[in-house]
Structure 1
Amino acid sequence: MPAFSLEPEQRAWSARLRTLAAERLRPLAEKGEPGRVNRALLAELGRLGLLARLFTSGALELCLMRESLAFACTEAETALALQGLGAHPVHAHGTPAQRARWLPPVADGGAVAAFALSERAAGSDAAALTLRADPAPGPDSGALWRLTGEKCWISNAPEADFYTVFARTTPGAGARGITAFLVPADRPGLTGGPLEMLSPHPIGALAFDGVPVTADDVLGEADRGFRVAMDTLNLFRPSVGAFAVGMAQAALEATLAHTARRDAFGGKLSDLQTVAHQVAEMALRTEAARLMVYAAATAYDAGAPGVPGRAAMAKLLATETAQYVVDTAVQLHGARALRRGHLLEHLYREVRAPRIYEGASEVQRGIIAKELYAAAPPPTGEAP
């Protein structure tokens, strides 16, 4: 399938998702408490079968889900995405027992998952994390390691039912000394608290005080956890871009409606060339970002080369574009867009975080450059 053209069935499915998000998910989102996990919303996502699709969909279908939900209900999009981010390592790298225990309740919305990678001093630099997995002092407890340290900026913390936790099992080994663990929230020594952030997502910090983990808790292989993290991020980075595109499209459509009906200077705002050109630029950038997101997702599904670079490009362009589009929409709406409860006031708070999480924009540029130089032919002779 060409990356630039969706099939009619895909377009129809995306339209149905927009309608479902507006009619069934947004009312539940509006009843939720800011900064808390909305379990009623998760349960409805489960009833609609959308959470189960996290484990059967390719990257492009994941992007279509996230874009469509984001257009009509960003809270539903985020709830779905966080379930996927936290549970994908279990789906892709877990043992049969781990998958059987946790994936069914995640799919029906009954269990909350979380991806615990970031630390206060190791956010985008994932290889620098310091949460320690120390060898357990004795075999009596059955534990092979005890986790000691902290995680920060963890979505769904501290309310998740289990965490995909990345800890250092081999000191001084950089990315090669990290292991991924599946850690249920009721493990002794695991505590946490919420953090108040600009956008009202559930996000918090975790403290590990000798939390016991066993060989049965390892996701993938010991000391190979960085691969688990990067595999997850390569899948989800294009879909972060899809989330951004959905928000940009919502801002664009709100701006089209507003400028077409708003009286100004003896006509409509849309009659002013300056305004019309700004709206055209918003549409241009949104469509360019959408195409890059679809192309990156299609490349992932096809197993094409250069997926990390493509994923980084998609996330970078789409999130930076959404920031521009939403900001321009606010400017064209004026003060009304800054009033609490306005769609654009909501989007203005939502749109900022994606430029940071799952690798800040600067990190994406670093990934892109690294991939470019790795693929370039070796230099020969003198430079021209």
Structure 2
Amino acid sequence: MKRVVVTGIGTINSVGHNVEDSFKAVVNAECGIDTITLFDASEYPVKIAGEVKDFDPATVMDKKEVKKADRFIQLGIKAANEAMRDSGYISEENKKVDESLSERFGLVSASGIGGLSTIEKNSVVCETRGPKRISPFFIPSSLVNMLGGFISIEHNLKGPSLSHVTACAASTHALADGVKTILLNGADRVLIVGAESAICGAGVGGFAAMKALSARNDDPKTASRPFDAERDGFVMGEGAGALVLETLESAQARGAKIYAEVIGFGESADANHITAPVMDGPLRAMKAAMAMAKEHTGGDVTIDYINAHGTSTPVGDVNETKAIKELFGENCPPVSSTKGQIGHCLGAAGAIEAIFAIKALTEGVIPPTINLENQDPECTLDYVPNVKREATLTTVMSNNFGFGGTNASVIFKKVN
């Protein structure tokens, strides 16, 4: 079987505009959650989110093109540019991959919702000013697959262009799909991009109506508190993550930097409820990832750290804890959630958190679960509370689960 490795990573989120700044902030327990500025939330029950601050889309797109792309696409382009440069396939001077590689260079994009703010804006225009005033860029700006469309044009990627819209598991599914594409010889290299920007009236109002969000408006920095007894819901975040995948043989032949090998992934459905999770689905996703990893490596696999989905919801955190305990028994590894630092980035969460897991692996440091002051008695794992932990890591897992009962888990291993 081919061995698939990660050779480029990029991210933008509420604590950093690149991988190095983001991971440093996350391990140092910095929090990017604050009062919402992207729209007037003064009359909303929830007034906090993890926004990307000081981002100028004109730094990643021509000014004339900015109005053609929703913010989630702009953020995705930013992360993709960093990952592609990091991989060595493009440079600051030349943003297009070599023509000899382009037809076998694929892309899998992902978002949980896509251009929600653009949909909201044009719906208001249609209702108040009439259909003739709708922007001609409305539809192409808001479609989820246009994330991949813009990026494939930017970097001359002519291989398969696929897209996932599986809620908060979307970019983990995209990563798995990228690995499958390489294993099945559909492409030699694949760029994975997950992006989300749903911090708008409809997004915050909709999740608040479901009672899914924390309403700790008076103390934003402590609002997202995974596994804590006082948690009251997740905090919305926005951002993007991107990873370049290729075969180990290809990476070694060109002398590329190799971050990690993808040795396993698992996908499942709860088939139970559209929003309320059950243990069986996440458990089967993790089991499938472990089974693939064992088959791939030809031996036992020991997970040294899990970057949990850990959203800070009362039901979700307990459910994931139970699934991890059921799978690992007495040998549960350290677990942490980085959503306390950046919020829940929905469809982008999987890509961003996969990058954090990979950085933990390469740097030998586990990011903390911040705001864990009074651990829920039903959440009984080692969640690395509040302070980073130095550790020797060889193999790590990253989990993401989404509405509709869709689940995904991925395992990364150091390459010897």
Structure number with higher relative contact order (C-alpha < 8 Å, ≥ 6 residues apart): 2
Bigger fraction of residues in helix: 1
TM-score (norm 2): 0.27
TM-score (norm 1): 0.28
Pair member with larger Rg: 1
